[in-house]
Amino acid sequence: MAFSLLLIVVLGATALFFATHLSIPEDRSQRVFAPDLVRRGGELAALGYCASCHTAENGKPFAGGRPLATPFGTLFGTNITPDPKTGIGLYSQAAFARTMRDGIDRAGRDLYPVFPYNHFARLTDEDLSALYAFLMTRAAVPAQNPANHLTFPYNVRPLLAGWKLLYLDKKPVPRDQTRSAEWNRGRYLVEALSHCGACHTPRDRLGAEIASQHFDSGEAEDWWAPPLNHKFPSPVSWSEESLFNYLRSWDVGHGGAVGPMAPVVAALATVPEQDVRAIAAYVGATLAKPGESEKRVDEKQPQAAEAHPQGAELYAGICATCHETGGHVPFTVTSLGQHTSIYAPDPRNVIHVVLEGVRPPEGTVGAVMPAFADTLSDAQIADIAAYLRARFSRGGEWQNIEAEIARLRRSTSP
C-alpha cells in the first residue's frame, strides 16, 4: 500500500516535471513592437541592470560570457541577444515568460538561481512584455555561452526543480494599503525587478535567500553587501533623500557606489527619476531612521593612532592627501568614517578599493582613485585598514586582514 502510494507520488512528480519542462517550439515570426513598449522595456532592463550580468568585460551588450563566482562554482551570464543560435532569438513571449518566472529555458532546462528568477517570478505581464520587446530589438550577437564550472551534484540541473519547490514563490508582490503609492511601487520594483535581496539578503546552504532575514546583508562577487534595514552598522544614518542621491550618483553623507554596486547606480542614472524615488522610498522605509538626525562619525583618532602607528602614518602620508581635505577633492566625503565599509564585519570592501582604486565610466564625471596594489605591500594595506577600523568603528578588530589581502590580490589580478 505504502509502496503504491510512493509509486503514485513518484510517477505524479515525474509527470508534472515533464509537463512543466516541455521544450517550447521555436518562434521565427516577424516581430514588431510599439516604440513605447520597447522604450519602457529599456527602462525596466536598466532597473533590473540586466546588462551587468549578461555582458562580459569589454564584451558586446547582452551577449553573455561574464563569469559569476558562487559557492557552488563559477557560472556564466548567458547570451540574451536575439541571436537565433546562441541567444534567445527563437524565444516566443511565452518561452521568455517561463524563463523569467519559472527559471526554465525554452529547451526545458532548469536554470540556476544565480539568475534571480525568484524575483522576476513576480513581474507583471505588462512588464514582461516590455522586457521581451526590448531584448528582442537589441543587436543580435553570435556568441556561444561558455560552459559553467560546476561540480557534482550541482551540475545536475533537474535537481533544481526540487530547489524551486522549496524556494520559488511566484506570488505577485502584495500592495500594502497603509503605505503610499510610491512605497508600493518601490516594493514592486525592488522585489520583482531590481532584486536587491539577491545581494543584500543572506543565503542558506542551498543558495536561497533566507526570507526571515530579508535585507540583513549579503555578498556579491566577494564584496560585502551591507544590510538595508535597522542592522545597518554605520552611525551615519540615511534619509530617503540621501538614499535617492546615492542611487542616482553620489551622496554627501555616504559617498558613492563602488564595486558591484557601481553598475547598478550607473544603470539607475538612466531611468525615470520617479522610479528611483520609489525604490528609495521602499528601501528607505527600513533603512532610514526618520526623526533621528544624522549621526556624526565617532572619531577615536588618538587611540587608533597609538594602537596602529604604522597605519596612522601611512594614512597621513598617502590617503590624507585626498581624504582629509574636508571633502574638497571631488567625490570624497569629509571623513572616511562616513563610508559604510569601515563598519563591515570583514575588511574585504576596503581591501578591494585600496588594491583596485575607483574608475568612473569613461568620459563621465565621477570619482577617480588610483589603485595602490603596486605602491603598498600587504602589510601596509593591512595596517591602514586596521587603523581605519580602530579609528571609527566600535565593532572590534578585523581578523586576518593580511591573509585576506593576499587572497584578494590573487583573485583580482588580471
Three cell numbers written together for 100: 523569467
Q: Angle at CA 195, nearest 5°, toward 241 and 291?
A: 25
- Asked if residue 375 binds another protein (CB under 8 A), the reply is yes
- Asked if residue 406 binds another protein (CB under 8 A), the reply is no
Residue of 228, 314, 354, 381 that binds another protein (CB under 8 A): 314
Residue of 68, 208, 285, 329 that binds another protein (CB under 8 A): 329
- Asked if residue 305 binds another protein (CB under 8 A), the reply is no
> Phi/psi of residue 204, each to 5°?
-85, -170
Residue of 38, 69, 285, 307 that binds another protein (CB under 8 A): 38
Q: Which is nearer to another protein, 274 or 325 (CB)?
A: 325
CB of 342 to another protein, least distance (A): 21
Interior/surface letters 306-340, b for 16+ CB within 10 angstroms, e for the rest: eebeebbebbeebbeebbbeeeeeebbbebbbbbb
* Span of 198-206, 284-292, 368-376, 399-407 interacting with another protein by CB under 8 A: 368-376
Residue of 182, 221, 294, 313 that binds another protein (CB under 8 A): 313
Q: Angle at CA 388, nearest 5°, toward 387 and 391?
A: 85
* Span of 86-94, 114-122, 141-149, 375-383 interacting with another protein by CB under 8 A: 375-383
Separation between Cα atoms, residue 161 and residue 71, nearest integer Å: 19
Separation between Cα atoms, residue 357 and residue 267, nearest integer Å: 21
Residue of 21, 47, 48, 51 that binds another protein (CB under 8 A): 51
- Asked if residue 382 binds another protein (CB under 8 A), the reply is no
Q: Say which residue the cell 503514485 belongs to.
A: 8
Residues from 137 through 166 that contact another protein (CB under 8 A): 137-139
* Span of 210-218, 282-290, 372-380, 399-407 interacting with another protein by CB under 8 A: 372-380
Residue of 22, 94, 368, 403 that binds another protein (CB under 8 A): 368
Residue of 212, 293, 364, 413 that binds another protein (CB under 8 A): 364
- Asked if residue 42 binds another protein (CB under 8 A), the reply is yes
For residues 233 and 395, the answer to whether their CB atoms sit within 8 Å is yes
Element (H, E) at 167: helix 159-167
Residue of 41, 89, 103, 337 that binds another protein (CB under 8 A): 41
Separation between Cα atoms, residue 165 and residue 337, nearest integer Å: 44
Interior/surface letters 201-230, b for 16+ CB within 10 angstroms, e for the rest: bbbeeeebbeeebbbbbbbbebbbbbbbbe
- Asked if residue 64 binds another protein (CB under 8 A), the reply is no
Q: Which is nearer to another protein, 39 or 109 (CB)?
A: 39
For residues 31 and 90, the answer to whether their CB atoms sit within 8 Å is no
- Asked if residue 108 binds another protein (CB under 8 A), the reply is no
Q: Which of 219, 49, 175 is nearest to 120 (CA)?
A: 49
Please give the radius of gyration of the chain, using alpha carbons only, rounded to the nearest integer: 23
Separation between Cα atoms, residue 82 and residue 106, nearest integer Å: 13
- Asked if residue 134 binds another protein (CB under 8 A), the reply is yes
CB of 363 to another protein, least distance (A): 5
Separation between Cα atoms, residue 27 and residue 190, nearest integer Å: 31
Q: Which is nearer to another protein, 59 or 84 (CB)?
A: 59
CB of 143 to another protein, least distance (A): 15
- Asked if residue 374 binds another protein (CB under 8 A), the reply is yes
- Asked if residue 57 binds another protein (CB under 8 A), the reply is no
Interface contacts to another protein, rule CB under 8 A: 35, 38-39, 41-42, 51, 61-62, 134, 137-139, 270, 313-314, 316-318, 321-322, 325-326, 328-331, 357, 360, 362-370, 374-376, 380
